[in-house]
A = this chain, B = another copy of it.
């Protein structure tokens, strides 16, 4: 196995699920970690545990994302690993959705991913190395009824991932899109007793992120899907 080559990681849209597991795994690899979210108060315990620095940001605002990266450069060092986990949805029949909520879902799920990818690219292209991981969902590849806003955001993020991989791969930057196909285990969403591991363990998901980050540049993955063994799909 190749050594883990990334030293400064920024996770945008950090919360208590996949991001927390990732932060713990990265901390164990002695990576310096920045955790960015709209509301950083909820991140205090995780930040303490992973010796991470927290940053408040609205990822859908271009100037806020630019400032975020400037702050990260100063306080953490230029990130060579950037992970985008933010998303928002608006559920319901198309006729009933609030256009502002749909706009916001797209802005946070996809446009924020662009803004973060852009700031990452600005730093990584001159150095000729880095990694950008974008977190997708079932909705990235299938647009479900009553979920049009989320489908739009997640499809768009997948388009970004492909475009970014094609542009940035040969510049030494590993872009990957992780399709999380299933419910992620959490305090609110746990396994039924008779269906062990029927939800995605965030620690298991994080392991696959780390695997992707360890890949040698001669054999990079762009898209990796993960789902529970018992998932219908």
Contacts and interface: CB of A to CB of B under 8 A. Distances in A.
A50 B71 CA distance: 51
Contact of A201 (B174, B216, B222): B216
A157 B106 CA distance: 11
Contacts of A226: 215, 219-221
A125 to B, nearest CB: 6
B110 A156 contact: yes
Contact of A160 (B148, B219, B230, B233): B148
A95 B125 contact: yes
Contacts of A93: 121, 125, 167
A164 to B, nearest CB: 6
Interface residues of A, number: 84
A231 interface: yes
B200 A208 contact: no
B218 A106 contact: no
A103 to B, nearest CB: 6
A204 to B, nearest CB: 4
A67 to B, nearest CB: 13
Given A94-B167, A147-B163, A197 B216 contact: yes
B167 A159 contact: no
A7 interface: no
Given A114-B149, A204-B219, 7 more contacts: A97-B118, A114-B148, A169-B230, A170-B230, A174-B229, A221-B224, A222-B225
* 3 nearest A-B residue pairs (beta carbon): A143-B162, A155-B159, A151-B159
23 contacts: A93-B121, A93-B125, A94-B117, A94-B121, A94-B164, A95-B122, A99-B115, A142-B162, A143-B160, A143-B165, A144-B163, A147-B163, A148-B164, A152-B156, A154-B159, A155-B159, A169-B229, A199-B218, A204-B216, A207-B216, A207-B219, A208-B221, A219-B228
